[in-house]
Amino acid sequence: MDLILEGIVKAFTLIVGLDAEVVRVTMLSLAISGTATMVAVILGVTAGTWLALNRFPGREALVGLVNTAMGLPPVVVGLFVALMLWRSGPLGSLGIIYTPAAMVVAQAVLAFPIVTGITLAAIQQIPPGFRLQVLALGATRTQMVWVLVREARLLLLAAVMAGFGGAVSEIGASLMVGGNIKGQTRILTTSIVMETSRGNFDVAIALGIVLFLVAMAITVLLTRVQQRERKR
């Protein structure tokens, strides 16, 4: 019990005192997960909308694949991305293994199916008659897609939240492709694992609280935007 209490006290000292290492790790986490979420949202909203609006042979299998991929194990993603980015791998020439860029790729791969799946469901729940109404008003296909995305914005915000939540909280893939190098690829989740394994529970608790607060702050912010939109 003392261990936990001491850890919590130390954690608040580190947070309130803006400990340089905690701040650096937090900022890098935010940058990597934020970028990965942005990439996943751009690609996932596009893919989800396309899947929702088009009919082609094999579509059902592809939708099934997306839904399955929403629960991809991070270590499997880490292994896959590591193999691709490994020096002798297909994308080895990019030279980004064990860099923040590789972690962005891994987290984006994890968040992409989540955003795609939620976008697909969001666009599909709009009645087909609504699409016809938009076209009947003289919209081009691009204008129609934009209207549909805007109509589904509340659910798309949920997709952003789920994507960011998945990215910022995962560890397996980031560790495998980033390597937890101090000052370069060390982020909140990898630090927590490392400090726990070293027995530095106070630092681990501090980082855990920060991770929790960061995830909560982003989610609360997006939820407020979402609920304000709903009330309009």
Partner 1 sequence: MSGAPQIEVRDLEVRLGGATVLAIPGLEVAGGEVLALLGPNGAGKSTLIHAMALLLSPSAGTIAIAGEIPSARNITAFRRRMSVVFQDPHLFDRTVADNVAAGLRFRGVPRREVDERVAGELSRFGISHLASRSARKLSGGEAARVSLARAFVLRPEIMLMDEPFSSLDPPTRHALLADVKPMVRGTSTTTVMSTHDFSDAVSFADRIAVLRQGRIVQADLAWNVATRPADRFVARFVGVENVVEVRVAHREGDIVRIDAGGAALHARSDAEVGSHVLMCVRPESIYLTTSPDGTNGTLEARVESTTRMDHYTVIRLDCGFPLCVHVAGMTSAPPAPGSRVHARIRPDDIHLIVEEPMS
Q: Which is nearer to partner 1, 6 or 229 (CB)?
A: 229
Task: Please state, as a whole number, how many other Cβ atoms lie within 10 Å of the Cβ of residue 90.
Answer: 10
Q: Which is nearer to partner 1, 58 or 138 (CB)?
A: 138
226 touches partner 1 (CB under 8 A): no
Q: Which of 81, 120, 101, 123 is nearest to 39 (CA)?
A: 101
Minimum Å gap between C-beta 134 and partner 1 is 8
70 touches partner 1 (CB under 8 A): no
Q: Which is nearer to partner 1, 93 or 142 (CB)?
A: 142
Q: Which is nearer to partner 1, 57 or 138 (CB)?
A: 138
Q: Which is nearer to partner 1, 182 or 230 (CB)?
A: 230
Span from 55-63, 138-146, 159-167, 176-184 in contact with partner 1 (CB under 8 A): 138-146
Q: Which of 221, 223, 193, 218 is nearest to 34 (CA)?
A: 218
Span from 25-33, 80-88, 139-147, 169-177 in contact with partner 1 (CB under 8 A): 139-147
- Return d(Cα 99, Cα 105) in angstroms, integer: 10
8 Å CB contact between 32 and 110:
no
Task: Kindly tell me which residue out of 140, 183, 197, 228 binds partner 1, with binding defined by CB under 8 A.
Answer: 140
Match 């947070």 to its residue by tokens.
15
Site for partner 1 in 22-41 (CB under 8 A): none
Q: Which two tokens stand for residue 8?
A: 């919590």
Dihedral, 135, 130, 65, 74 alpha carbons, nearest 10: 100
**How many residues contact partner 1, by CB under 8 A?**
17
137 touches partner 1 (CB under 8 A): yes
Distances in whole angstroms, Cα of residue 44 to Cα of each of 10, 39, 64, 84 = 40, 8, 15, 21
Site for partner 1 in 146-175 (CB under 8 A): 147, 150-151
118: phi then psi, degrees, rounded to nearest 5: -70, -40
Task: Kindly tell me which residue out of 69, 75, 79, 135 binds partner 1, with binding defined by CB under 8 A.
Answer: 135
Residue 211 makes CB contacts below 8 A (sequence gap 6+) with 29, 168, 169, 188, 189, 192
- Binding track over 114-133 against partner 1, x by CB under 8 A: -------------x-xx-xx
Binding site for partner 1 (CB under 8 A): 127, 129-130, 132-140, 143, 147, 150-151, 232
